[in-house]
């Protein structure tokens, strides 16, 4: 095994986990998920079957990544962030036709307790502020905050605001 799984974590048979990835306390990685190389999966993170995650991603504690979420490379996800996959969830009558995909492009940073509502794309190197509720596509290199999330600034590849000229 060329990755690390903490003894309390659950990695189901059939999960694909990349080289040098570390999966920490009480995390649960489902069969059918794909997790790239050199990732860090924090305490109590849940990665559902069908979730696809690129290389060098970092998930802080208590993050939920559900089926239909596709995450690029070098993505940071802060603690308690949640991705959804059904716009009209019900306790009964789930079928895969209700699954709504979400795309997170390379270099995105998602703040603590953000909610990413399904069916959107987070553009490359955008930043989602802590607690934001994202309901629409976010353009690349944008900073969004609030509920619903709105673009307030442009950011560079480093995530820092670009100063006005």
The label of the residue with tokens 């100063």 reads 163
Q: Where are the domains of the chain?
A: 4-154
Categorize the per-residue pLDDT at 45 as very low, low, confident or very high, splitting at 50, 70 and 90: very high
Give the mean model confidence (pLDDT) for residues 10-23: 98
Report residue 41: phi and psi, to 5°. Answer: -115, 110
- Which of 8-12, 42-46, 129-133, 157-161 shows the lowest mean pLDDT across its residues? 157-161
CA–chain centroid gap for 70, Å, is 8
Q: Is 65 exposed, middle or buried (0-12, 13-18, 19+ CB in 10 A)?
A: buried
CB proximity list for 82: less than 8 A, separation 6 or greater: 63, 64, 114, 115, 116
Q: What is the pLDDT of residues 87-103, one digit of tens each?
A: 988 888 777 788 899 99
Q: What percent of the chain has pLDDT over 70?
A: 98
Superfamily of domain 4-154: Hexapeptide repeat proteins (2.160.10.10)
Determine contact, residues 139/125, Cβ cutoff 8 Å.
no
pLDDT at 98: 83
pLDDT at 7: 98
Categorize the per-residue pLDDT at 165 as very low, low, confident or very high, splitting at 50, 70 and 90: very low
Determine contact, residues 131/139, Cβ cutoff 8 Å.
no
Categorize the per-residue pLDDT at 48 as very low, low, confident or very high, splitting at 50, 70 and 90: very high
In which order are the strands placed within the sheet that holds 64-65?
A: 10-11, 28-29, 46-47, 64-65, 82-83, 115-116, 133-134
């Amino acid at each position: 095994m060329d990755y690390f799984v903490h003894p309390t974590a659950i990695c189901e048979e059939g999960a694909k986990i990349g080289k040098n990835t570390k999966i920490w306390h009480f995390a649960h990685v489902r069969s059918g998920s794909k997790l790239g190389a050199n990732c860090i999966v924090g305490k109590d993170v849940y990665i559902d079957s069908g979730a696809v995650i690129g290389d060098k991603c970092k998930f802080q504690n208590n993050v939920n990544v559900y089926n239909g979420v596709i995450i690029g490379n070098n993505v940071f996800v802060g603690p308690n962030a949640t991705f959804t996959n059904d716009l009209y969830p019900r306790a009964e009558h789930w079928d895969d036709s209700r699954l709504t995909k979400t795309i997170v492009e390379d270099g995105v940073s998602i703040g603590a307790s953000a909610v990413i509502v399904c069916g959107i794309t987070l553009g490359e190197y955008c930043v989602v502020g802590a607690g934001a509720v994202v309901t629409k596509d976010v353009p690349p290199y944008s900073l969004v905050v609030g509920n619903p999330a709105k673009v307030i600034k442009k950011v560079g590849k480093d995530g820092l605001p670009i100063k006005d000229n």
